[in-house]
């Protein structure tokens, strides 16, 4: 391999990474090449070949490939975090109890202090944390402040990551200090401006998500306005749904005429194929059918659900109805941006369900890995672009240090299911060597 590296370096057009290659393009399906390789064109940002290294090397002889140096590696698609709150990272592990008091006591003060200056300082660090954990695509919320969100977008652009993000919108019980009737027009105007500036920017890596927080802190007019703007610009919408029983009670009080929580969003036109709904733990069959009918997607955030005592997602019920489901760290309710940790928590959630709900199917590591890659990509409307290691897709991938995954650094000869279980249970920043977006390294571990 070394000789080849030198021989071909001169006019290298393509980059190749050799290692154990793993992806999960469909739920329950794991693809694996033991001595595999992924080759991509860094100029176009596209994967050109995936397969057995030995076979590939014969076909590639005539082409210039610069092979990545380094020890034994596992190569996976870049991880997709469909739901996190950028300003909340410092609150990781802070507070306890349930959603509404936690928001009031810990989160609103933190977001209120997340000024543009603070955002300029913290946002680059946050994006670096994502990349250091192998996350290459994320759906994020910022604060209610336009300039703070703008600074986060500028940092996102510089990071090279694939980010869908928006300014938080809330006009009921907001931390901004303005009267609700003033907030409504201002928040819509500011969100629209941010969308005009950032939706499709960064060569298409950045997209805008109109982000009404949830029905507890938004008027119907605000939610309707957000939905209309998202429609106008072909942008995303994201909000929270049915995370916690206290929240659901509050929504019932605020919208007594609605059939249920989901009906509030449906009535405001918020549900569609570019809508991402965080949590969705406590939905009736009717509500699940509405989500499926509208093709709205769900961000499953199990670490956050455990932290805030919110509950266990009925994952099989949502998936059986045809609802797209991906994973979210939901930082700061979730303590880490490490999506491997979120995958194992998703497995634990289904295990816990199965203890009291006979017949509940447990989630395998391969299935959790699908949710954290291709599943998440589909939630964010990027299923044809990223999420699996497929020739023609964009080259978003993670290179893991094989030795760092194993206790005592002993690699062993693992079957694909064993290897993905190892990744899910022991994956984290200590094992990430490099992360790539569109064939460009957005993170390289220092050696």
> Binders of ligand GUN among 121-150, rule CB under 6 A?
none
Q: In degrees to the nearest 10, what's the CA dihedral of 47, 49, 52, 54?
A: -120
Judged by beta carbon distances under 5 to 8 A according to partner kind, the member of Zn ion, ligand GUN, none in contact with residue 167 is none
Using CB under 5 A as the binding rule, whether residue 243 contacts Zn ion is answered as no
**Of residues 39, 312, 333, 339, which one binds ligand GUN by CB under 6 A?**
333
Q: Shortest distance, CB of residue 420 to ligand GUN, whole angstroms?
A: 28
Q: Which residue has the tokens 């019980």?
A: 173
Q: Which of 243, 260, 367, 394 binds ligand GUN (CB under 6 A)?
A: 243
Decide whether 192 or 243 has the Cβ nearer to ligand GUN: 243
What six digits make up the tokens of 342? 């979120």
- Residues 307-346: x/- map of binding to Zn ion (CB under 5 A)? -----------------------x----------------
Contact (CB, 8 A) for 398 and 134: yes
Distance of closest approach, residue 95 Cβ to ligand GUN, in angstroms: 11
85 lies in the site for ligand GUN, by CB under 6 A: yes
What's the length of the chain? 447
Closer residue to Zn ion, CB minimum distance, 29 or 104 = 104
Between strands 14-26 and 29-41, the pairing is: antiparallel
Among 15, 24, 107, 266, binds ligand GUN (CB under 6 A): 107
Which position among 278, 372, 427, 439 is part of the footprint of Zn ion (CB under 5 A)? 278
Subset of 17-46 contacting ligand GUN (CB under 6 A): none
Q: Is 436 in the site for ligand GUN (CB under 6 A)?
A: no
Contact between 145 and 153 under an 8 Å Cβ cutoff? The reply is no
Phi/psi-derived region of residue 308, left when phi > 0, alpha when psi is between -120 and 50, beta in every other case:
alpha
Report, in Å, the least distance between residue 214 CB and ligand GUN: 4
Query: In the complex, what is the shortest distance from the CB of residue 277 to Zn ion, in angstroms, rounded to a whole number?
Result: 10
**Among 425, 370, 371, 423, which Cα is nearest to 399's?**
423
Give the range of 21-29, 53-61, 99-107, 204-212 binding ligand GUN by CB under 6 A: 99-107
End-to-end Cα separation, the chain, in angstroms = 20
> In the stretch 207-226, what mask flags binding to ligand GUN with x, by CB under 6 A?
------xx------------
CA 277, chain centre distance (Å):
12
> Which of ligand GUN, Zn ion, none binds 414 (CB below 5-8 Å, type-dependent)?
none
Nearest approach in angstroms of CB 167 to ligand GUN is 14
**Is the Cβ of residue 206 or residue 277 nearer to ligand GUN in the bound state?**
277
Residue closer to ligand GUN, measured from CB, 23 or 111: 111
Tokens matching residue 426: 């022991």
Asked if residues 252 and 104 have their Cβ atoms less than 8 Å apart, the reply is no
Cis, bond preceding 392 (omega within 30 deg of 0):
no
Rounded to the nearest whole angstrom, what is the least distance from the CB of residue 61 to ligand GUN in the complex? 53
Nearer to ligand GUN, 305 or 374 (CB): 305
R_g of the chain, CA atoms, integer Å: 22
Q: Which residue, among 278, 374, 357, has the nearest Cα to 314 in the 3D structure?
A: 357
**To the nearest whole angstrom, how small is the minimum distance from the Cβ of residue 308 to Zn ion?**
10
Binding site for ligand GUN (CB under 6 A): 85, 99, 103, 107, 213-214, 240, 243, 304, 330, 333
Binding site for Zn ion (CB under 5 A): 278, 330
């Amino acid at each position: 391999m070394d000789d080849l590296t030198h021989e071909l370096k001169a006019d290298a057009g393509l980059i190749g990474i050799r290692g154990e290659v793993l992806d999960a393009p469909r739920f329950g399906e794991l693809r694996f090449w033991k001595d595999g390789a992924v080759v991509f064109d860094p100029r176009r940002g596209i994967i050109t070949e995936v397969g057995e290294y030995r076979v590939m090397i014969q076909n590639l002889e005539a082409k210039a490939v610069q092979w990545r140096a380094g020890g034994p590696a596992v190569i996976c698609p870049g991880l997709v975090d469909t739901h996190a709150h950028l300003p909340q990272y410092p609150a990781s592990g802070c507070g306890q109890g349930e959603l509404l008091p936690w928001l009031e006591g810990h989160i609103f003060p933190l977001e209120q202090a997340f000024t543009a200056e603070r955002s300029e300082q913290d946002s680059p660090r946050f994006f670096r944390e994502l990349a250091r954990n192998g996350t290459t695509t994320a759906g994020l919320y910022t604060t209610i402040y336009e300039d703070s969100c703008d600074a986060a977008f500028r940092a996102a652009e510089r990071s090279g990551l694939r980010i869908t993000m928006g300014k938080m919108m809330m006009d009921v019980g907001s931390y901004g200090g303005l009267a609700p009737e003033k907030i409504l027009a201002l928040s819509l105007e500011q969100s629209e401006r941010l969308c005009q500036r950032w939706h499709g920017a960064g060569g298409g890596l950045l997209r805008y998500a109109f982000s009404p927080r949830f029905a507890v802190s938004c008027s119907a007019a605000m939610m309707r306005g957000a939905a209309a703007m998202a429609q106008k610009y072909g942008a995303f919408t994201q909000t929270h749904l049915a995370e916690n029983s206290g929240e659901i009670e509050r929504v019932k009080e605020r919208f007594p005429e609605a059939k249920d929580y989901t009906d509030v969003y449906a009535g405001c036109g918020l549900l569609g194929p570019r809508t991402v709904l965080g949590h969705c733990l406590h939905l009736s069959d009717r509500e699940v059918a509405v989500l499926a009918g509208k093709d709205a997607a769900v961000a499953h955030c199990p670490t956050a659900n455990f932290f805030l005592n919110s509950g266990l997602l009925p994952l099989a019920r949502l998936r059986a109805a045809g609802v797209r489901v991906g994973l979210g760290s939901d930082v700061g309710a979730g303590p880490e941006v490490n999506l491997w940790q979120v995958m194992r928590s998703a497995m634990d959630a289904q295990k816990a369900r199965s203890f009291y709900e006979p017949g509940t199917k447990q989630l395998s590591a391969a299935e959790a890995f699908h949710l954290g890659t291709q599943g998440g990509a589909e939630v964010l409307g990027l299923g044809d672009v990223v999420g699996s290691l497929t020739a023609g897709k964009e080259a978003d991938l993670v290179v893991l240090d094989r030795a760092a995954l194993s206790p005592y650094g002993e690699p062993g000869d693992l079957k694909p299911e064993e290897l993905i279980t190892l990744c899910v249970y022991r994956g984290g920043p200590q094992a990430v060597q490099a992360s790539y977006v569109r064939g460009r390294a957005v993170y390289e571990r220092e050696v």
